[in-house]
Structure formats: structure tokens, C-alpha cells
Amino acid sequence: MLLLRRCLSLARFSPLNSQRHQVSPTVALCAVRLCSSSGGGGGGGEDQRSYQHTHRPRWRHALAGLLAGSGAVLAYGLHNHKAEQEDISVQNLKKRSGLPIYSQEEVTKHRSLENGVWVTYKGGVYDITEFVAMHPGGEKILLAAGGALEPFWALYAVHNQEHVLEILSEYKVGELSVEDQKKQQAIKSSDPYASDPERHPVLHVNSLKPFNAEPPPEILTDSYVTPSAFFFKRNHLPVPHVDPATYQLRVEGLPGGVLTLSLEDLKTRFPKHTITATLQCAGNRRSEMNKVKQVKGLNWGIAAISNATWSGARLRDVLLAAGYRPDVAQWAHHVQFEGLDKDVTGTTYGASIPINKAISEEGDVLLAYEMNGEDIPLDHGFPVRAVVPGVVGARNVKWLGKIVVSAEESSSHWQQNDYKGFSPGTDWDTVDFKSAPAIQELPIQSAITTPADGATIDRSVETVTVKGYAWSGGGREVVRVDVSLDGGKTWQVAQLRGSEEGQGPESSPPPGRAWAWKLWEITAPFPHEAEELEIVCKAVDSSYNAQPDTVSPIWNLRGVLSNAWHRVKVKVREDEREA
Amino acid sequence: MLLLRRCLSLARFSPLNSQRHQVSPTVALCAVRLCSSSGGGGGGGEDQRSYQHTHRPRWRHALAGLLAGSGAVLAYGLHNHKAEQEDISVQNLKKRSGLPIYSQEEVTKHRSLENGVWVTYKGGVYDITEFVAMHPGGEKILLAAGGALEPFWALYAVHNQEHVLEILSEYKVGELSVEDQKKQQAIKSSDPYASDPERHPVLHVNSLKPFNAEPPPEILTDSYVTPSAFFFKRNHLPVPHVDPATYQLRVEGLPGGVLTLSLEDLKTRFPKHTITATLQCAGNRRSEMNKVKQVKGLNWGIAAISNATWSGARLRDVLLAAGYRPDVAQWAHHVQFEGLDKDVTGTTYGASIPINKAISEEGDVLLAYEMNGEDIPLDHGFPVRAVVPGVVGARNVKWLGKIVVSAEESSSHWQQNDYKGFSPGTDWDTVDFKSAPAIQELPIQSAITTPADGATIDRSVETVTVKGYAWSGGGREVVRVDVSLDGGKTWQVAQLRGSEEGQGPESSPPPGRAWAWKLWEITAPFPHEAEELEIVCKAVDSSYNAQPDTVSPIWNLRGVLSNAWHRVKVKVREDEREA
């Protein structure tokens, strides 16, 4: 919206403002075209086509997420945009013949705000200097300065959309010389996602490139420990393929100098520590915020959360081996993680956690090499990922390549300008990312997985069974889940379960170390007078924090931390067999 | 309510059920009488009378708390009770002449559920065996078995009420012999509260005996560090007078045996550690829950919370000196505190905290001997109290006499059967105190101290200034306070302050060690179209926990953990000078 507003205000000074339109109904249409073409044209081949086939009925849902962008980097807030003409952008791109011809050499001179920022795309030359300040992904756009956009858009596939081309068209200043166009075509851009692993077809895909998907809610709570194939997947970049034989983890920033560890070192030099821990994406349940007012981010449902057992070396043990001593804490306040997943410029995914979490005996931070008793799957960080229990998924860095003990937080985009919470009154015009702390521990959360919203129930039934999950960050144990069948007027207490069904109840974890969720269930008498049930759940953790009642007051522009009471409506049907 | 219902059901089998009545309008009246007589008759003399004088306009408010009882021990849920006759109890007590005469020796034989539980009161003998299970204070009533009630009721003054006498009257079985009555009168029961210290007259008194009072909200946020005289006071028992020269603290339960420390030992053998920490009563803001549905407990407003600097020895250091070693944590899970304040039977106030909080370097638990740079005042635990930052006030045991490292929580009433949270659907018939954890860390909290609810504001003003406090338990820092002038439709972000006004901003505390509150303030344009302002505040802590929107869904039978958005209504007045 900020973007749109700024573009509109700029447009007043542009000869092209008559070509701006508001899109919306056609968004799904053009995006389907996009995804089909990227599936067919990329390196996915048979596999990719089979995903499309499987997910066709879900496109409309998944596309909402894809279109909302994958992280602020990719977000263009296009839902308020309405196209009344098909292929308007292609017309625009071709319209301005008669513009000057530039060589690649000339284009390359424009790589800074001072000298102008030029890029090329499909033979056109664009001066995007004015757009840099408006780019939702920030100055990252400068990485493409002086060169071609194609390799970046192959990475951040969300750019491949009508309205993005439409915006681009306004900045056209010339044509690239025919010789240089031929040279560009010779360097065929490959699909960096071509070697992403196969995924289970049951997953609801929110974004294919990078891959982001969640299991269906009814499957999520079938098992206390989520099978890895169903565990939600949240990638920011293509999945890197790391050879375990040559893998090396660098530990930097400590007085002893750099420590380098092989996978074998991690497995043999340090005790193997196992925890069961729930990971949750900061954007879990974002779709409920989108219903209040459009936010930027993947349109997650209620299943961007899963629970697994993780085994590995304790970060604490590795830091001690690398030279950590108590006096280090006087200047070192953070432990930074760098992934091996990177974009075309070599920028890796990064995040950091407070050093007291990293070094505490009770923090249980792992450099995990096993998930659910097996090697960590490719999508979840093979061969080594950080598992920071009680902390938002984004800090549990996958494909871990480097650990840096530092006085500073990670400088990565995802630590500094993303994954932070703001007031509902803060918009993209007023937001100051420095004013909010990076999300670490997450607040109390719960959701209903059965019945589904919109399900029907026969009036003749005696009882209603409701199931779901509940979890809180910071190792705070879920101590109670309240369930209402009447929209929150009256409440009953659900049964909690902290282990696989059939197993005896686990003993309560030590205070502050309850890393895993509770599954819950309640079977309550069916209220026969009801025309419709509004089923609501809310959980309480060991610090007696409760979930807020409604979404609006916690709405925030990035759509994170969506933890209001979860509500599903169930219709009551007159039993046909009775009639 | 439970009590009343049970009594009524019992009454079906009693010849006296026609004498049961519902009281309510007369509650204030009879309580005023009670308080006047206890003030005049007790040891308070001039001081006590002056409190009554000062607080006369506030009696109606303060009495609601007094009547609701001081802790579950004292609670009789009498607000639903309605008396249609004055002095019904006195009539009842005298009515049954012709009952047998018993000697004290005979009464003394009835001291157990097996042999019957008899007590005497003003010459009457009562068989209260059946009532024991209904006593809101639990089996504590057995302490009086076989003897006189008077010394207990002098301690727990809330018993001195019409409806309590009314209940008692039903259990009358005889008269005490005249000789034994004379002997009882000879042992005149003294007022155990007679030596309580003087208090500042500005405090709003919720209960005189034990003393419970809070400062006026507008004074509360005048200073970042609350002056000790204004710091809220929450006593469970009479204030003990401890001689600092002979004071001894016992530390038990560790392999090294018992360690005994004098005040001088605490001051000289251990480093002096100072923290600024906010303490909050679990019942802060209980009065808002009472508006939803009557709860049991003191009717606190929004000021059962205050902030002070505390200095003392670290509990960790003392435990290490007493023989704590890491292997102790394998069996020891709790550290119990015993106060030197006791009831007539010698039962002391007690509570416990998890051992990881006690022993952690980052837990900052103090055995404090200074408050705001001076000896701890009598009301706050002179000479030594536990300060457990981030944890509910009830575990910050005052007049500390004993520390026990144990596998078990404190067995005290206040740890086991009080200070726990329950679902709004749980009532006194269904409550199982074992099903909920003892409150330790408190949830995110905030409240508006200026303007007051019901204040008026001139329509001609340009801006509105709103002030308040915000705090969260567990060392979680308050990171944002949102303020709404329109009942929660739109929100603005308040300015936070973490130190005294005029001082520079303190550097942010380490993660998880933000023990002190933030004061906040916002000056917003006055919305001139408004007929009334509904000002609302809500805070967010570093784990991004938010306050629940409304009170009803977090209502609980003890009225603890009242942390919904705080709302005040302000009337808009046409400016008379303008008219």
C-alpha cells in the first residue's frame, strides 16, 4: 500500500499515470499463468508438473500467499491492485521504441544512487534510481544495479508478475544494443530452485520458490511428534546441497581464534543431546490478520508450526570448546548464525540469538544433525541446523555454515528489517524497524485443528470433540487450554497431552524448559439449542500469559505474532437420516 | 457461593433452615460497625482512629475488599448474602438455652474429625465437625479445635461478621460451664495487630488487620522508584518485630547441614547486590474482576504494584556458602522461604520458588536488607526479606526466618491452595487446587494512572495526556505500550521511560533481566468530535506477549492475574469559560 501510494504520488509527475490501474480479481488468473510457466520452463520437469496437478484446486489459496510475497523482500502489496487490461505490461515494454540504444558498458556505469541506478530486462534499459527508496526489499535492489534483472527474478520468483512489470515499464529509458542482448542470452539464467528436494504432495504450498508449505491442520495433530515430511517448511532461498564429507562449520569471534569442525567432529567430540522442541514461524496464522487488513508476507494458515525431536551437539559445548569464557559475556551479547543458503550475490541467510540463551545450560540450543532420529532432511537443514528451542523459527538457522560470537546482532535483513512486531497503528509510512526488538521468544499460542472451519455437524449427535495444539515460547509450559462452543461466553477446560498417544504422561519438564507443544482435546455435550457453533480456544502458559481475544488490536504490517483466540464456525445440520 | 450453596443443602436436614437469609445491602453497614469497634477497642488508639477519620469517605470501597476476605483463608463470599433482620446472630446465639452444660475438659476431647470438632465462643459450645469440609480456609480451622475461637478471630478479623456468627449458631450444641467461662475471660485476648507500624494516611486501605493498602494511582507514577511509604503493602499476618541484633536466618536442606547467619553475616560475608525491581500482588486490579462476577479476595484497585531498589546478599551466594553444589539440583527442585510472621498457633507465612530461579546467576534473587537505600521498613520485611524479581509478590517473603532447599514446594496454604489461576468456567464446586501451578512469573500488565476513570475534560483543550505503568514478569522487558482514545479502535504508541524523570535513559537490561517497570506517557490530539473518551492501554513485552482484551474470559474465582486492557472513561465537558 505504501508502495502503491508512493507510486501514485510519483505518477502525478509522470506522463504515464493514465496507465495505472487497480487490480484484484485478475490477480489469481495472471499468477496461475506465471506458475504454470515457471513450472514448465524451469528445471522441475516431471516433479514440478505433478505438484501443480496435485495442488490445482488449492491454487487460489496458495496464490494469495505467493502474491503477498515471501518476506518483506518480495512483498509488493498487490492485492489492492486491479488490472483491467490483459498483458498491459508487455504492451508497455514494447511501446517506447524510438528510445536511445545503450551498450552494456554504458549501463554498467549506473550502479549507484549518485550515478543513477540502471538495470536491463529482456532487452530494455531502465533507470530505477527513483524506485530504490520504494523497493519493499530495501536496498537489496542495488545488487542488480548496472546489470540484468533476470538472475535475481529467477531467485525471487514473486517478481514475475504483471504489476511488477507494469511498475518497471515506467522507468524505461532505452534499449540494450543488439550485440549485448545476444551476449546476455548466451548466459542462460538457470533456475536456482531446480535442485530443491521432492516434497510430500499433501502439503499446502504457500510459495514454490523459495519453498514454503504447511501440512493440513487435520494431519498436524495426528501425532505428537510431527513426521519430517509433514513438518512445515519455511525456506528463504534455494536449498543448498552440502556434501557431509567436506562440510565444515566455522566458529568465530572467540579469544581462541577460529574453530573449524567437520560433521564427524560435531558427532564425536561433543555429547549427543536430544530434545523435543516445537518450531513455529513468526507468520503462523497470518491469514487471519489478512482478513482484518492486508499484510505483507506468506499467507500461512494455522499449521506453520510443528514438533520434532532433535539431536546434536549443544551450542554451549561447542562455544566452550572454541574458547568461550565467562569474561567473554562482558562484550559479547549475541551469537550470529549464517546459513549456507545464498542468493545470486552470495548473500547468505542469517540471524542471531542473545548470548545468554546460547551459553546457558538450560537454553538447550543445539547444533542438530538429526531430526526425528534420522539425518536432518534437505529441507530442514542437512547436514546441520541450529535448533533454538522456545525461539521463533527464523533464528533456527538451517544449513549452518558459520557461528560468530559478537557484540552485535546479525546484520542480516531478516534480523534487522523483518521478523519484528509493531503497533496496529504503525504503517509502512511510519514504521521504524530500529524501534522494535527482533522477535526471539514467541508468545502463547493455540489453535483448533478439528473440526475445520465451515464443517457441519448433525443435530442428533450427543457430543462434540474438539482438538488442537497449544505452545508457548521461552520454555514456558502450556498449563491450560480453555475451549468455548459459544463464541467465548462459557468455557470448559481441555485435556492436555505432552507425549504420543498411548504413552504414559511425561514428567513435567523443568521450569523454563518446556520446549514442546501440548496437544489437547475435549469432548463436550452438544448444545442442542445452537444453530451454529462458534468454537474458540485459548491457552495459558506457566507465566499465566493468555492469548488476546481478537486479531485487530494485534494486527501489524508484517502479519507476525498472530496469536489471538482461534475461532472456527461449525454449521448444525438437521440429521437427514432422522427426517 | 460454594459455602452458601452447601450450607443451604445442609440446611434441608436442619431444623434451622428458616433462619437463613440472603444479605447484601446491609453488608457495608455492619462492617462499618465492626471496623469502628475493632479500631476503638484494639490497641490502635489515636492512630487507628485517625485512619478511620481520614478514610471515612473510602469505607464503602475499602470494605468491599475487607468483606471479600483477606486470602482464601478469610473468604466467605458474603456479598450474595442478605440479612433482613438485625442482630439475628445474637438472637441465635442466645436462643438455645436448655442445651447441655459442658466443661472445658469435655470440649478439649473433641479435637479431630474422628472424635468431633468442638469449639467455644462467648460461652457457647459448638460442634463444627460438619463445617470443617466447608471452611474456605481449609483445615486450618482445626487449629482451634477443642478450644476458644476468640484468639483466632482476633487474628483473622474478617470472621467478626454477622453472617459468620449466623453460620456458627447452627452448630451450637451446649453451653460452657460458668467456671470455665470465667477462666477464659481471665486470659484476655490481646490484639495481635496492636504493634503494627504507623502507615501513611494517603494509602487506600483494603484491610486493616492484616494490613493491606495501595497508594492512589495518581501518586503511584509520580516517581519511577516508589517511595517506601507509598509502596503497596500486602501483609498476611501481624507485622513481627525482630531485633536486628539477635536476628538469625537458618538455611537448611543442603549437604553441609544447617547454616545460621546473623544480619551482620549477611551484610559482611556476601557481596552487596542492588537491583531495581517491581513487585506486584497477584490480586492487583482484582476490583475489575469483581465487576464481572464476585471473586474472593481483597478488592485491589490498579496500584497493588510498586517499584523499588533493593540491596542485599544474593540468595545464590548464600546457598553456595551453605553447601549447594550442582548435583543438589538432581533432587532439589525448590527453595522454600518461611517468614517470622505467624498466627496464634505458630504457623508462619511460607512460599517457595523453583531452584533454578534461586541459583541462577541471572535470577538476581536477593536476601534484601535495604529498600530504596535504607533499612527495609517494618511493613516490608525488616530486617530481611526475599526479593524474587519477576515473580509474584507472594513469593517475596518478608521477615525471612528460614530458607529450606527441598524436593518439594512449600506446603503452606499460600503456595498450595491460593495464588493459582483457573479457567473462568471453574467454580468453588469444581476447583482442584492441585490442577494448577502456583503462580511464579506474572504475565504482561499495564494500567492508566492519569486521567482517572470518570474524570472530565474541557472540549476546548488541544491535547490529552495519558500516563501509566507497564510491567511484565520473568524479566521480560516492556517493549511497547499502545494507547487508544476510542475504546480500542485506533492505537498510538506511548513514550516509555525506564528511569527517574530527568535522568538519561538507562541502557537496556540484559535479556530476561528486566525486573523494573516502565512508566509511559502520551500526549495526543484531543478528538473534538468525541462525546466521551474511552481511554485504553495495552502493553507488549520482549516475548511479544500481549494483554487480553477483556476481563470476563480471564475471570477466575480467586480474582488473580487480572491483566486485561485497562480502560478509563473520561467525560467531555463544554468549556464554561467559553460559554
The residue ranges of every structural domain in chain A are 2-185, 248-435, 445-573
Helices (DSSP H) in B302-384: which residue ranges?
A: 315-321, 355-359
Report A:441-470 residues touching B (Cβ under 8 A): 441-444
Q: Minimal Cα–Cα distance from A298 to chain B, Å?
A: 20
Q: Minimal Cα–Cα distance from B445 to chain A, Å?
A: 10
B198: three-class secondary structure by DSSP: coil
Residues on chain B touching A547 (C-beta within 8 angstroms): 548
Instruction: Give dist(CA A54, CA B124) in Å, integer.
Output: 84
Interchain pair B357, A488: CB under 8 A: no
**Which has the closest alpha carbon to B217: B230, B198, B208, B199?**
B230
Q: What is the enclosing helix (H) or strand (E) of A217?
A: helix A217-220
* Catalytic (active site) residue B419: yes
Whether the upstream peptide bond of residue B151 has omega within 30° of 0, thus cis, is: no
Name the CA dihedral angle for B87, B88, B90, B91, rounded to a multiple of 10 degrees.
120
Whether the upstream peptide bond of residue A451 has omega within 30° of 0, thus cis, is: yes
How distant, in Å, are the alpha carbons of A143, A239, A368, A567, B446 from that of A338? Answer: 19, 14, 15, 38, 38
Interchain pair B436, A543: CB under 8 A: no
**At residue B189, what is the residue type?**
S
Q: Which of B7, B30, B281, B537 is catalytic?
A: B281
**Which has the closest alpha carbon to A513: A553, A480, A547, A542?**
A542
pLDDT band at residue A579 under the 50/70/90 scheme: very low
pLDDT > 50? residue A167: yes
- CA B272, B276, B280 angle in degrees (round to 5)? 125
B322: three-class secondary structure by DSSP: coil
Instruction: Give dist(CA A232, CA A227) in Å, integer.
Output: 10
> Residue A291 burial by CB count (10 A; 0-12/13-18/19+): exposed, middle or buried?
exposed
At A90-104, the pLDDT tens digits run: 444 454 568 999 999
Instruction: Give dist(CA B227, CA B220) in Å, integer.
Output: 9
A478: three-class secondary structure by DSSP: strand
Instruction: Give dist(CA A236, CA A242) in Å, integer.
Output: 17
Q: DSSP assignment, residue B201? A: T
For chains A and B, CB pairs below 8 A equal 124
Residue B551, C-alpha cell as written in the block: 476481563
Interchain pair A423, B357: CB under 8 A: no
pLDDT, position B574: 84
At B445-502, the pLDDT tens digits run: 999 999 999 999 999 999 999 999 999 999 999 999 999 999 999 999 999 999 987 7
Instruction: Give dist(CA B35, CA A62) in Å, integer.
Output: 68
Residues on chain B touching A554 (C-beta within 8 angstroms): 546
Q: What is the enclosing helix (H) or strand (E) of A540?
A: strand A532-541
pLDDT band at residue B150 under the 50/70/90 scheme: confident
* Catalytic (active site) residue A419: yes
Instruction: Give dist(CA A209, CA A207) in Å, integer.
Output: 6
User: Could you tell me which residue, A426 or A43, shows the higher pLDDT?
Assistant: A426
Percentage of chain B beyond pLDDT 90 is: 68
Instruction: Give dist(CA B205, CA A497) in Å, integer.
Output: 44
A569: three-class secondary structure by DSSP: strand
Q: What is the enclosing helix (H) or strand (E) of B91?
A: helix B88-95
pLDDT, position B97: 61
**Which has the closest alpha carbon to A309: A233, A421, A432, A223?**
A223
Mean pLDDT (whole number) for A358-367:
96
Instruction: Give dist(CA A405, CA B480) in Å, integer.
Output: 28
Q: Does A543 touch chain B (CB under 8 A)?
A: yes
CATH number for the segment(s) B445-573: 2.60.40.650
Counted residue by residue, chain B has a size of: 579
Report A:3-62 residues touching B (Cβ under 8 A): none
Residue A370, C-alpha cell as written in the block: 538429526
Interchain pair B511, A545: CB under 8 A: no
For all residues of chain A together, what is the average pLDDT?
A: 83
Mean pLDDT (whole number) for A497-508:
77
Q: Does A354 touch chain B (CB under 8 A)?
A: yes
Of B354, B474, B544, nearest to A443 by CB-CB distance is B544
pLDDT > 90? residue A182: no
Instruction: Give dist(CA A305, CA A284) in Å, integer.
Output: 7
Q: What is the CA radius of gyration of chain B?
A: 25
Domain B2-185 and domain B248-435 have a common topology:
no
How distant, in Å, are the alpha carbons of A115, A123, A145 from that of A109? Answer: 7, 17, 9
B247: three-class secondary structure by DSSP: coil
* Catalytic (active site) residue A76: no
β partners of residue B233:
B213
Of B426, B482, B510, nearest to A356 by CB-CB distance is B510
User: What is the value of pTM for the model shown?
Assistant: 0.76
Q: Minimal Cα–Cα distance from A273 to chain B, Å?
A: 18
Strands (E), B356-458: 366-371, 374-375, 385-387, 400-406, 445-450, 456-458
pLDDT, position A24: 32
Report B:481-520 residues touching A (Cβ under 8 A): 482, 488, 490-493, 510-512
How distant, in Å, are the alpha carbons of A27, A131, A558 from that of A77? Answer: 12, 15, 11
**Domain A2-185 part of CATH 3.10.120.10:** yes
Mean pLDDT (whole number) for A144-161:
79
Instruction: Give dist(CA A222, CA A307) in Å, integer.
Output: 12
Q: Does A424 touch chain B (CB under 8 A)?
A: yes
Q: Which of B20, B135, B200, B480 is catalytic?
A: B135
In a mutational test of the A interface, the residue from B365, B430, B490, B543 whose CB has the highest number of chain A CBs within 10 Å is: B543
Instruction: Give dist(CA A422, CA B69) in Å, integer.
Output: 42
Greatest distance between any 2 Cα atoms in chain A = 80
Residues on chain B touching A550 (C-beta within 8 angstroms): 549
Instruction: Give dist(CA A132, CA A110) in Å, integer.
Output: 13
At B333-378, the pLDDT tens digits run: 999 999 999 988 889 999 999 999 999 999 999 999 999 999 999 9
Instruction: Give dist(CA A535, CA B451) in Å, integer.
Output: 38
pLDDT, position B2: 33
Of B362, B441, B546, nearest to A443 by CB-CB distance is B546
Mean pLDDT (whole number) for B401-417:
97
pLDDT, position B576: 62
CA pseudo-torsion sign A451, A452, A454, A455 = negative
**Domain A248-435 part of CATH 3.90.420.10:** yes
Q: Which of B159, B286, B380, B566 is catalytic?
A: B159
**Which has the closest alpha carbon to B312: B367, B270, B358, B361?**
B367
pLDDT > 70? residue B95: no
Pairing of strands B273-280, B259-262: unpaired
Residue B230, C-alpha cell as written in the block: 507509598
Q: What is the enclosing helix (H) or strand (E) of B106?
A: helix B104-108
* Catalytic (active site) residue A159: yes
Instruction: Give dist(CA B228, CA B215) in Å, integer.
Output: 11
Residue A461, C-alpha cell as written in the block: 449427535
Interchain pair B492, A423: CB under 8 A: yes
At B125-142, the pLDDT tens digits run: 999 999 988 887 777 788
Q: Does B473 touch chain A (CB under 8 A)?
A: yes
Dump the DSSP string for B266-293.
Answer: HHHHS--EEEEEEEE-TTTTHHHHHHHS
Counted residue by residue, chain A has a size of: 579
Helices (DSSP H) in A22-123: which residue ranges?
A: 27-41, 45-55, 59-68, 88-95, 104-108
Of A480, A482, A512, nearest to B356 by CB-CB distance is A512
* Catalytic (active site) residue B234: yes
Q: Which of A20, A81, A163, A234 is catalytic?
A: A234
How distant, in Å, are the alpha carbons of A187, A445, B89, B381, B398 from that of B241? Answer: 88, 47, 37, 10, 12
Instruction: Give dist(CA A435, CA B472) in Å, integer.
Output: 19
